[in-house]
């Protein structure tokens, strides 16, 4: 598996140990696991600088924003044919635990958001094929810590346990 990093600085103070600082950066990751290969979850701790436009936290090499943040702090996804935003957002300059789970069937993606251990909405989007490989922080300004990708839908109890384990 390979990783290509552009404008990412590691070793910054993080929520748990050290974090990666993204300054309009990009980290392309090859996991031998495409986001369209089955159910998945994205989990991370994020501290973002004020945004002036859409910033991609996790996207794909085919340009789909799996997890993004809008200028007003809303978290959302463009994994399907339309945008889907969480019911609440995150504030600037504070650490937040963010999880997005995606359950995939033949025609739809069932998306759920969790912010700081709490459910934050979700919905159904029409499935897209051939999403490409994972990309972290395309145009992002802020810090990412404890980034994890799972080949399953994390349960609500797993998400709460992970959140409570944060310092």
Amino acid 1: pLDDT: 38
pLDDT band at 121 (very low <50, low <70, confident <90, very high): very high
Write the pLDDT tens digit of every residue in 41-78: 989 998 888 766 677 888 877 777 778 887 778 888 88
Return the percentage of the chain with pLDDT > 70, whole number: 81
Query: What is the reported pLDDT for 5?
Result: 54
Average pLDDT, the chain: 80
Q: What is the model's pLDDT at position 97?
A: 95
DSSP helix/strand/coil, 52: coil
Segment 4-26 shows an average pLDDT of 73
163 backbone φψ class: left, alpha, beta (φ>0; ψ -120 to 50): alpha
pLDDT at site 130 = 60
Question: What pTM was estimated for this model as a whole?
Answer: 0.85
Higher pLDDT, 1 or 112: 112
Please give the pLDDT value at position 122.
93
In the chain, the largest separation of any two C-alpha atoms, in whole Å, equals 42
Q: Closest Cα partner for 144 from 69, 71, 76? A: 69
Residue 9, SS3 per DSSP: strand
Q: What is the pLDDT of residue 96?
A: 93
Please report, rounded to a whole number, the percentage of residues in the chain having pLDDT higher than 90: 21
**pLDDT-based confidence at 131, cuts 50/70/90?**
low
Integer CA distances (angstroms), 161 to 15, 19, 117, 164, 165, in order: 16, 21, 8, 5, 6
CA 147 to chain centre: 8
Strand partners, 119: 114
CA angle 157, 83, 75 (to 5 degrees): 50
At residue 21, the pLDDT reads 77
d(CA 137, CA 113): 18
- Looking at 54-94, which runs of residues are DSSP E strands? 55-60, 65-69, 74-77, 84-89
pLDDT for 55 equals 79
The 10s digit of each residue's pLDDT in 147-158 is 888 889 999 999
């Amino acid at each position: 598996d390979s990783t290509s990093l552009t404008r990412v600085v590691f070793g910054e103070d993080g929520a748990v140990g050290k974090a990666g600082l993204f300054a309009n950066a990009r980290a392309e990751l090859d996991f031998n696991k495409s986001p369209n290969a089955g159910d998945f979850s994205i989990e991370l701790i994020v501290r973002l600088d004020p945004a002036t436009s859409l910033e991609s936290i996790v996207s794909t090499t085919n340009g789909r924003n799996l997890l993004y943040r809008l200028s007003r702090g809303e978290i959302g996804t463009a994994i399907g044919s339309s945008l889907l935003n969480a019911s609440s957002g995150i504030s600037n300059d504070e650490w937040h635990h963010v999880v997005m789970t995606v359950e995939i069937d033949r025609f739809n993606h069932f998306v759920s958001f969790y912010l700081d251990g709490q459910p934050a909405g979700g919905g159904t989007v029409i499935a897209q094929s051939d999403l490409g490989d994972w990309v972290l922080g395309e145009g992002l300004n802020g810090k990412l810590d404890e980034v994890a990708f799972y080949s399953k839908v994390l349960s609500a109890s797993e998400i709460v346990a992970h959140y409570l384990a944060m310092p």
